[in-house]
Amino acid sequence: MPTPTRATSERFGYGWVAGGPPAPVTSPVEYHLHAMQSVLGAPLFRGLVLDAGCGEGIDLASVSLSESVRAVGLELSDGGVAATSARIEGLPKARLIQGNVLSLPFANAVFDGAYSYGVVHHTIDPERAVREIARVLKPGAPLLLYVYEDFSTRALAARGALAFVNAGRRFVAAMSPAAIRRFCWLIAPLVYTTCTWPSKHFRWARSFPYPATQNPTFRSLVPDLYDRFAAPIEQRYSEDGARALAEQAGCRVHRSAFLRGWAVWAERI
């Protein structure tokens, strides 16, 4: 049986390429990094920037197109490496390295900024992962971090929905990545009908938790459902817990904000 880290790599790697060959990014895209910068009011990056867990490579490609940025993406999975390589094809200021965020292959204090969206909470040691990212930052360099919320301030119904999803995750734990994706295709119409569609038309449903609410069709819902059900490890945080992740790594937190989870803007001390 694969270790949790290997299972994470295999499942997410499969998810990055299951939808077909990714297209190269040729102009900036308003994706996860843009969403974090916007909700936090964080400044744009400058200099050498690390994308710690670049996944399918959209953010890495996009930030490398900034005039004042050179970007390095680190990705654990073979599928993520394949997807990112396609995204950054022809972009001279983007570089990709395969490796583990728990043991970054970089010297201390070499990056002018870093971001990590939805990565550290899928590792066996999120605190260590953030410490590693902070280690490679120069003093004063910004760090943007995103982790899942723990629903501790949500209504009872939302906490019950999370418990139900977690039970589903245990149900699919032994499935192959392809089988998990088929399972997500099977349940996507039901989730769309009972959660997504009502959230777009009724006020009482607008607080339904992500990812049930943001997709225009049930087909676009499938990758998000796959992310939720395929992950063998999933840590969740309160706002204070998300801020503490950055603080224990030797960073000063400037701001935290809700973004379907918790986004944190910190600075390496």
pLDDT of 110 above 80: yes
List, for residues 14-57, the tens digit of each pLDDT value.
999 988 889 999 999 999 999 999 999 999 999 999 999 999 99
Tokens of 33: 């990094």
Mean of the pLDDT values across residues 65-89?
A: 96
Per-residue pLDDT at 211:
63
Tokens of 236: 């969740």
Per-residue pLDDT at 150:
95
Mean of the pLDDT values across residues 3-11?
A: 92
Per-residue pLDDT at 253:
98
CB 50 within 8 A of CB 74: yes
Please, which pLDDT band fits residue 213 given cuts at 50, 70 and 90? low
Nearest to 205 by CA among 224, 191, 218, 221: 191
- Please report, for the chain, the start and end positions of each structural domain, with discontinuous segments joined by +: 4-150+236-268, 156-230
Per-residue pLDDT at 220:
83
Please, which pLDDT band fits residue 1 given cuts at 50, 70 and 90? low
CB 99 within 8 A of CB 105: yes
CATH for 4-150+236-268 (3.40.50.150, 3.30.1490.20, 3.30.565.10, 3.90.850.10)? 3.40.50.150
Task: State the average pLDDT for the chain.
Answer: 92
List, for residues 162-203, the tens digit of each pLDDT value.
888 888 888 888 899 999 999 999 999 988 888 888 877 787
Mean of the pLDDT values across residues 146-168?
A: 89
- Which stretch of 104-108, 153-157, 178-182 has the lowest confidence by average pLDDT? 153-157
The runs of H, that is alpha helices, within 73-152 are 78-87, 126-135
Point out which residues pair with 134 in neighbouring strands.
none
Listed in sequence order, the residues at least 6 apart from 81 whose beta carbon sits closer than 8 Å to its beta carbon are 13, 75, 96, 98
- What DSSP assignment string belongs to 172-215? TTTS-HHHHHHHHHHHHHHHIIIIIHHHHH-GGGTTPPTTSSS-
pTM: 0.93
List, for residues 219-259, the tens digit of each pLDDT value.
888 988 999 899 999 999 999 999 999 999 999 999 999 99
Cα separation, 189 vs 132, whole angstroms: 40
List, for residues 132-143, the tens digit of each pLDDT value.
999 999 999 999
Q: Helix (H, G, I), strand (E, B), or coil: what is residue 47?
A: strand
Per-residue pLDDT at 21:
82
Q: Helix (H, G, I), strand (E, B), or coil: what is residue 258?
A: strand
Please, which pLDDT band fits residue 210 given cuts at 50, 70 and 90? low
